[in-house]
Structure 1
């Protein structure tokens, strides 16, 4: 009897790559607004979010132009108290869109109430990074959406 051909034993190699889990997709809603209307329409959107059962601590409001009146009010008590509210996370938090602190909230409302379009575009990208579930954009920021220009002011348009 003659021996058979030698069997090739596969060499161990790198483990097969598993695809990375898909990051949860953030829903984007747009509300057509001029810079002069943006704060008022954002406030209406926040009211609707809270009335629908969202926890106030899950909402972050970022402004591109002038600070939201509520942010100005909160800052009147001092910077330390203002930032402590962010850490506590129990209420809607209002900040400038240039916020550099690491904040993640379920819902981010981006208020485009002034400033150049380049600043609004950058704010859109940052706001998307702060949101875990929903980004509401009041005004013109981020990629254009078909149908958004035809939307009635104050009415959300899903992106």
Structure 2
């Protein structure tokens, strides 16, 4: 239908802002998910992201940094989390204790399926602008499907 003389075309309303963080999936086998997460953190830091902006959660074995820091005691370990001065590594099962950060990286590196199912939506809720999930895409998809 032709526009009538004198009428103005209506501009489409702007698209609503995406709800929640941007999500990136980095395919990796379970035994390589931690390495993939480390590479993602390195890229974030190299691109200018502040270390205190990044939280890394693992569904299986703890990140070596977390295991080392926990050897000095929980109080010291969690004080580093609260200081928000550096990248913080934690088990996904400790998600109730971690607070949100602009970027959350999840290494789906094993662990019980129930823990991983809980970890993914919790990580999404904690991520301010970016959620990076490292792991086997088939496992991640099955976890998301079984958690719905």
User: 2:98 & 2:77 partners in 1: Cα distance?
Assistant: 16
User: 1:143 & 1:36 partners in 2: Cα distance?
Assistant: 17
Aligned length: 124
Alignment-derived partner of residue 130 in structure 1: 126
Alignment-derived partner of residue 65 in structure 1: 60
Alignment-derived partner of residue 113 in structure 1: 109
State the Cα deviation string for residues 46-105 of structure 1 (Å, max 9, x = none): 000000000000000000001111100111221111000011000000111122125010
Counterparts in 2 of 1:71 and 1:137: CA distance versus 1, 3 Å: same
TM-score (norm 2): 0.77
TM-score (norm 1): 0.72
Tell me if 1:78 matches 2:73.
yes
Richer in helix (by share) = 2
Runs of 4 or more, structure 1, over 4 Å off, are 21-24, 141-144
Residue ranges of structure 2 left out of the alignment (5+ in a row): 1-15, 143-148
Q: Which has the larger radius of gyration?
A: 1
Structure 2 counterpart SS, 1:136: strand
